[in-house]
Structure 1
Amino acid sequence: MYAAWSCGLTPRAPPDAHASPMRQTNASDDTALAVELRGVRRRYGRGSGAVNALAGIDLALPRGTFTAVMGPSGSGKSTFLQCAAGLDRPSEGSVRLGGTEITGMNENELTELRRSRLGFVFQAFNLLPSLTVEQNVLLPLRLAGQRPDHRRAAGVLGRVGLADKARRRPGELSGGQQQRVAVARALITDPDVIFADEPTGALDTGTAAEVLGLLRHAVDALGATVVMVTHDPVAAAGADRVLFLADGAFADSLERGSPSRIAARMGTLAGAAA
């Protein structure tokens, strides 16, 4: 089902299978990293009422890896994703994406970076209902000022199993089909990083497995980098590594953990946070 892509996307070099997602790095290997956060803190409010959503995040994710981020409610998962993707600014620290420091970028520069070098998959799909499936997939190219590549869109839609749905509107598709459109849209620019926020949260078990398979294939076949926030141990088990957030900091990690092992670790963290 997940044979080599034929839509013009170029596979990247395979990652180092033994690289640690939280290893120390130096300037010489920055270009090998897809995501790097150093001393990232995010504080909301001031004085005694201030809330530290992120309490000092240090993270280095090599290119071509699939990382799941989990944690109890209020642990900082959403804030982490927003800061890592340039959707929110940290109060302290630095964020680098694909070797590019983004912390000091202005809004126009961040917008351009998100359009051209990042892909996003959200729980709510975030498709434009007035556009066709093909138009939704091509939207990142149009917003980046590039000429729509209909052949490329057809190839990506074919790979996610929606070659015959290009002229449909999102409202005519099932939830699973809409999420596959969102995955195709995320891949159309061959991004440095795909950020996925609860991508299977609104899907049934079988459809969720299909969407996760597409993300997994993007990593294995294209060398794409996926960072996924999820509450689902089954979804997290498909990642190379699972990082656990607690009180705004990474508290633990697992490599290729089983759903039961991930759930047990989550239970321990939730119990400690209670």
Structure 2
Amino acid sequence: MRGVERQYGRGAGAVHALAGVDLALPRGTFTAVMGPSGSGKSTFLQCAAGLDRPTAGSVRLGGTEITGMSENELTELRRNRLGFVFQAFNLLPSLTAEQNVLLPVRLAGQRQDRRRAAEVLAQVGLADKARRRPGELSGGQQQRVAIARALVTSPDVVFADEPTGALDTGTAAEVLGLLRHAVDRIGATVVMVTHDPPAAAWADRVLFLADGAFAGVLERGSAEQVAARMTQLTARTAATGAGTGAMAGAVA
């Protein structure tokens, strides 16, 4: 992302959700993004993933400039080169776990490889649940299916939006362990938006957003360190009111 801005509305009532974001994400890394409510986390993820168009700046995926792509081109890019994991799982209830995993392949009009589905289901510990429908699985198992679906196309980047928000602490740790495993063993690149310091502590680094700009980075921080930084950032943002736009810079 280079100079990415996202503005909603015009004139005095305009909201600057992103205020000139510069960011480079290395391949094969796990990045968490945190920030106070309204800091721009969701807008950041949507612009980075081609789900929303920046008002200014450019977004590149590898060597591909995606900012000026048509909607059809963006749809194809998201289907083939990106994976998504959401808080609400977003599984189709009428499909089996195997069918849900293969959905991106089916939508792309490609041959559905059941062996590939079995491989990724085994990677998330669900080799014996391929024929089960979401209603027959626990919340944690459903999120495992969602992770398998995100990995089935071997995407360049997996975007995870509050992936543990609907899970208890123990199940959340299992799901985060799977994302960590995808990075360490499969070479995936994971970008996760979260409000939870223990979740962020699984990442290689945590990026902090405030008022649409990056306000700091923490490498390999513990849950306690992440929580302390978030407390400081929230207090500073509330105290200044003017935001931390001046602190924005390249985070590489």
TM over 0.5: yes
Give runs of aligned pairs for residues 135-214 of structure 1, distance below 5 A. 135-214=99-178
Note if 1:116 corresponds to 2:80: yes
Q: How does 1:248-263 map to 2 (within 5 A)?
A: 248-263=212-227
Distance 1:220 1:164 in 2: 24
RMSD over aligned CA atoms reads: 0.6
- Equivalent position SS for 1:40: strand
Structure 2: 5+ residue stretches without partners: 239-252
Q: Structure 1 unaligned runs (5+)?
A: 1-36
Of 33, 40, 60, the match for 2:4: 40
Matched, 1:88 2:52: yes
- C-alpha distance after superposition, 1:35-87 (max 9, x if no partner): xx000000000111100000000000111110000000000000000000000
User: Which deviations, in whole Å up to 9, do the C-alpha atoms of 1:117-165 show, x marking residues without a partner?
Assistant: 0000000001011111110000011111110000110111112111111
Count of aligned positions: 238
SS of structure 2 residue aligned to 1:64: coil
Of 11, 23, 43, the residue aligned with 1:59 is 23
Residue 181 (structure 2) aligned to one of 211, 217, 224: 217
Q: Which of structure 1's runs of 4+ aligned residues deviate more than 6 A?
A: none
Q: Does 1:266 align with 2:230?
A: yes
The one of 75, 93, 98 equivalent to 2:39 is 75
Q: State how far apart, in whole Å, the 2-side matches of 1:201 and 1:99 are.
A: 33
The share of aligned pairs that are identical, in percent, is 84
Q: 3-state DSSP class of the match of 2:23?
A: strand
Task: Give the secondary-structure state (helix, strand or coil) at the position aligned to 1:52.
Answer: strand
Q: How does 1:96-115 map to 2 (within 5 A)?
A: 96-115=60-79
User: Which string of whole-angstrom CA distances, capped at 9 and with x for unpartnered residues, describes residues 222-250 of structure 1?
Assistant: 21100000001001001000000000000
Alpha-carbon separation, structure 1, partners of 2:63 and 2:225: 33
2:193 counterpart (219, 222, 229): 229
C-alpha distance after superposition, 1:69-126 (max 9, x if no partner): 0000000000000000000000000001122100000000000000000000000001
Secondary structure class of the residue paired with 2:209? strand
Q: What does residue 239 of structure 1 align with?
A: 203
SS in 2 for 1:164: coil
SS of alignment partner, residue 112 of structure 2: coil
Give deviations 1:192-219, integer Å, cap 9, x for gaps.
0000000011111111111111111111
Question: 3-state DSSP class of the match of 1:87?
Answer: coil
Amino acid at match of 2:175: V
Secondary structure of the residue that 1:264 maps to in structure 2? helix
Give the TM-score normalised by structure 2: 0.93
Pairwise CA distance, 1:273: 1.9
* AA in 1 matched with 2:49: A
